[in-house]
Chain A
Amino acid sequence: MKTKDFVQKIQHNLTVNPERSAELVELTTSIISRILGDGDALAIKGFGTFEVKKKEERVSINPATGNRWMIPPKLVPGFKPGTTLKEKLKTYSGHEQ
């Protein structure tokens, strides 16, 4: 499902100004990116937590040449499902085809 379909689905769920959905989705993602960009975490009750994780630096070897590269540390956005979502996952057993 792409963003367009996603926006449509949200529209069905909205009672107030559904026509602004596309704009609001974009706004929301930019807000989330800004929060994560500031290094903060965003916890959404019933859904999960968006957070920034730090990947430590490591040495990787190019298998073709055998050269060793030092890969620098980096910050990566991550998502952890919350408890309610996890509970739902436990009882979920595949979607109906």
Chain B
Amino acid sequence: MNNKLLFQNLTDQLSQSGKLKKKDAEEFLRAFFKVIEDSLFEGETVKIQGLGTFKLLKVESRKSVNVSTGEEFEIKEHYKISYSPDNTLKKIVNEPLSYLEPVELDGPSAKKEPTVRNSRVEKNRSDDENDVIDAKEKEEKFKIGTVKPSETQHKIMPQNKSDLRTSNKEQKNGTRQSVNGSRKRSGRPVESKNSGSFFRVFLILIVLALAAWAILSNYSAKKENDHKLKELAIIDADTSFEDTPLEEFETVIQDSLKLEAEIAAKIESLAVVEKNGGVKNLASKPTSVATIKPKVTTKGSISESESDFPAYVKLKQGEMLTVLSLKYYGHKAFWVYIYAANMDVIKDPNHIPLGTRIKIPKPNSSVINANDPDCIAKAKALQTKILSRKE
């Protein structure tokens, strides 16, 4: 893989498989490429079956600007070589990725951006857990009501995050700070993914509110009095929502608040899930790819493993053991097992004559399993052994 082979290698292979003298193979190949070149310069299109089409394209003269000096100059008309590969060659080259198929995305409105997906996922989640949230919502309202004195401070703060944090420290003692800290930390990955600083400010606001509420509720009788006050305050808040613009604002963002409150409440589990989900969503392309992969491979392995083994294949042009292995076992690396089963007919696994009848043994799932990295590693180790022995 990814080696750069030279003319030398090509002549070697040709002389070997064509049973030619090296000198003759070289002469032939020189003629091969010379003819392509000469024909091109004679203005001909060269089409070679199994390789592709070469032709010369004229590039019209055009004006361009020297980037460093800003001077205008003319690029003279010239020719360039265009090469379009043959369909069979295209197929052979694309074999490792041939299991991929185009997937229709959900409708014209759907967007691929991870942020959008993220928020969608979160919305779903919030739908699912709405019942759970309801209770929390109420708490939330408590908070909004009770924290009012400090909340007015928060409302001033949002412009500046650092302000928020410092005042937070001033307000709360050490233990509470640590609670806050952990909450913030686990909340942050979510928040940074899907929103700007504005959203962030609200998250922090809620975390503060939560913390404040926790403190309040944890404290004793004084706090119980406060609770009563809170209840009064909720009623106040409910009634005053329409009146004060700030409160109105709060109701508008209530949804997001709920969401964030929920996240804060379920910090550990959600953070983990979110991270996973977030990563997946961010890597939306790979997931779509990954989701197709198992489907196809399992399909292949089921249909093949139940009916067709041991299968016999006549080697066609462009087919190699790796291709067969990919087709029957779902991974390139398992060609070694096919080779092992066909040692008597295959002298050199790199050069199998066309038309060779090859037996594909029934795969033993403990050894041949495309989904098991160990199996693949084992097969690859075998592969290097075989190839090194050959050399």
Contact = CB atoms under 8 A, between A and B. Distances in A.
B318 A37 contact: yes
Given A10-B32, A10-B35, A32 B105 contact: no
Q: Report the contact-size class of chain B (Cβ under 8 Å from the partner).
A: 35 or more
Interface residues of chain B: helix, strand, loop or mixed (majority): mixed
Given A37-B92, A37-B93, A57-B289, A42 B107 contact: no
B81 A30 contact: no
A84 B288 CA distance: 44
B14 A17 contact: no
20 contacts: A10-B31, A20-B18, A25-B32, A27-B14, A28-B29, A29-B49, A29-B89, A30-B318, A32-B89, A36-B93, A37-B93, A41-B2, A42-B10, A47-B37, A69-B105, A70-B285, A72-B100, A79-B81, A89-B78, A94-B79
Nearest to B285: A57
B174 to A, nearest CB: 51
Interface in B203-257: none
A10 B28 contact: yes
A3 B47 CA distance: 6
Interface string B56-67: 101000000000
Nearest to B13: A31
Interface string B288-306: 1100100000000000000
Contact of A31 (B14, B95, B103): B14
Interface in B1-52: 1-7, 9-10, 13-14, 17-18, 20, 24, 27-29, 31-39, 41-52
Interface residues of A, number: 67
Given A16-B24, A44-B7, 4 more contacts: A27-B17, A33-B317, A76-B94, A95-B43
Contacts of B110: 68
B88 interface: yes
Interface string A58-97: 0101000011111111111111010001001110101101
A47 B112 CA distance: 43
A78 B27 contact: no
A29 B85 contact: no
A22 B239 CA distance: 92
B108 A34 contact: no
B375 to A, nearest CB: 21
Interface of A: 1-3, 6, 9-10, 13-17, 20-21, 23-49, 52, 57, 59, 61, 66-79, 81, 85, 88-90, 92, 94-95, 97
Given A27-B18, A76-B94, A78-B83, A15 B27 contact: yes
A89 B94 contact: no
Contacts of A27: 14, 17-18
A71 B18 contact: no
A29 B43 CA distance: 23
